[in-house]
Amino acid sequence: MGITRVPSLGLRKGSIIDIESTAKAIDECLNALEKLTGIEIMSAVVGFSGASISIINNHAVVAVGNPDYEITLDDKERVLQSARNIGLPPDKVIVHTIERQYIVDGYDGVKDPVGMAGSRLECEVAIILSALAAIQNIRRSAARINLELERVIYNPLLASEAVLIPNEKEMGVALVDIGAGVTTVSYFEKGSILYTAVIPVGGEYITKDLAIVLHTSLDEAERIKISSGVVSPEMAEQDKMIEIQNLQGRESRQVSQEVIADIISARVVEIMEMVYAELNSFGCLDRLYAGIVLTGGGANLTGIAPMAEEYLNIPVRTAVPENLRGIATDFNKPENAAVLGGAIYAARTVKMEYAENSFLPGLINKLTDWFKDLFR
């Protein structure tokens, strides 16, 4: 129905460091979206990331309470509550409990046990934890502009909706989202997330390296990275020279594309080393049957997928959000995977209620039906 984009302010390494600036950026984006769609926006599904994220895989078992051995919703809630019952430090909070599978009398792979017969009910869950302050800052930023939060969702879960296919999630796949301030590494198996980690290095570190070495501004370094950057000197054109403005923007000089590639390559190799270390710590390197999927703004770097594949010795592909139809080319890019995945997630899980505008009678209901049909 509409997409808008504004510069992201008030964040560092995926975490909010300035509530006022963050709230202002969100408000600006929503105001533009309201003008575009003619709909007043009162609530939102919000994605988040940050270095404080961690994951715990837990298991719980309960006896079925029904004398007829029919598993009820109450049994399901009891076993989930038991699985969520973990010791937490005061500065941590559970943000997601992901139901990986249920086991009924030893039979695993059950997605929803309600209505089945059995005497013993087990569940396996993935519990995603975050720093309490990080979640509070998201809520406070939204409260500044009177925006209600429907859900606060970990970004890789949203991105996976847009760029992964069910077979990949089932077989075993690593989703590597290279953002500006952080890179998230997540492993999916049997249809759900099993491990995740946040690396405090992203695309802006490449930009800063370029700015420092080339003695130019961050804006100019970002422009060079996007327009002329490649991930290894072997991919650079030998005779190609790039014009670079100095820090003040008053003078320029010529630098070879090979020099630029050399600077970018060092940081990309460092990121891939950290990605490999995380996958190795997950113990999933020999289970990546669907390979590695790169997304996020850093995935736009020319040559990053073949370079990562050669370095990691694992099949790698760069993913654009293909699971959502009708998106303009300007927005259907890796850096928007989490946002577009959020639209898919919301369409499936959040009840949408629109108040009709007096100047658009009946149109909103039609748009609602169209929006739901888009994901069927």
Closest to 198 (Cα-Cα) out of 212, 218, 178, 217: 178
Among 84, 111, 132, residue at a domain's last position: 132
Is the model's pLDDT at 317 over the cut of 90?
A: yes
Residue 231 and residue 264 in contact, taking contact as beta carbons nearer than 8 Å:
yes
For 311, residues 6+ apart whose C-beta sits below 8 A from its C-beta are 269, 272, 276
pLDDT band of residue 364 (cuts 50, 70, 90) is: low
For 285, residues 6+ apart whose C-beta sits below 8 A from its C-beta are 279, 314
Residue 252 lies in a domain: yes
Residue 63 lies in a domain: yes
pLDDT band of residue 336 (cuts 50, 70, 90) is: very high
Among 66, 97, 132, residue at a domain's last position: 132
Q: Looking at residue 50, what is its pLDDT?
A: 85
173-178 vs 292-295, strand pairing mode: parallel
CA 281 to chain centre: 21
Residue 197 lies in a domain: no
Residue 357 lies in a domain: no
For the packed helices 203-214 and 257-282, what is the interaxial angle rounded to 10 degrees?
A: 150
User: Which residues span the domain enclosing 255?
Assistant: 206-267
Is the model's pLDDT at 180 over the cut of 80?
A: yes
Q: Looking at residue 2, what is its pLDDT?
A: 87
Among 267, 285, 302, residue at a domain's last position: 267
Q: Looking at residue 359, what is its pLDDT?
A: 46
Q: Which CATH number fits the domain that encloses residue 222?
A: 3.90.640.10
Using the Cα atoms of residue 321, residue 125, residue 56 and residue 169 in order, give the sign of their dihedral.
negative
Residue 28 lies in a domain: no
Residue 77 and residue 218 in contact, taking contact as beta carbons nearer than 8 Å:
no
The radius of gyration computed from the CA coordinates of the chain, to the nearest angstrom, equals 23
pLDDT in tens, 82-91: 999 999 889 9
**Residue 98, beta-bridge partner list:** 126
Q: Looking at residue 368, what is its pLDDT?
A: 55
**Residue 61, beta-bridge partner list:** 122
CA distance 303 to 282: 26
Q: Which CATH number fits the domain that encloses residue 90?
A: 3.30.1490.110
List, in sequence order, the alpha helices (H) in 303-336. Answer: 304-312
Using the Cα atoms of residue 178, residue 182, residue 186 and residue 191 in order, give the sign of their dihedral.
negative
CA distance 307 to 286: 20
Q: What percentage of the chain has pLDDT greater than the value 70?
A: 93
Residue 166 lies in a domain: no
pLDDT in tens, 268-310: 999 999 999 999 999 999 999 999 999 999 999 999 999 999 9
Is the model's pLDDT at 370 over the cut of 80?
A: no
Residue 256 and residue 242 in contact, taking contact as beta carbons nearer than 8 Å:
yes
Q: Looking at residue 8, what is its pLDDT?
A: 86
pLDDT band of residue 365 (cuts 50, 70, 90) is: low
Between 376 and 91, whose confidence is greater? Answer: 91
Q: Looking at residue 361, what is its pLDDT?
A: 45
Q: Looking at residue 367, what is its pLDDT?
A: 56
Q: Looking at residue 371, what is its pLDDT?
A: 55
CA distance 76 to 127: 16
DSSP helix/strand/coil, 36: helix
Q: Looking at residue 76, what is its pLDDT?
A: 95
Between 355 and 9, whose confidence is greater? Answer: 9
Q: Looking at residue 360, what is its pLDDT?
A: 47
Helices first, then strands: H and E counts in the chain = 11, 15
Residue 276 lies in a domain: no
CA distance 287 to 111: 22
Neighbours of 334 (CB within 10 A): 23
Structural domains of the chain, count = 2
pLDDT in tens, 219-236: 999 999 999 999 999 999
Residue 346 lies in a domain: no
Residue 152 and residue 350 in contact, taking contact as beta carbons nearer than 8 Å:
no
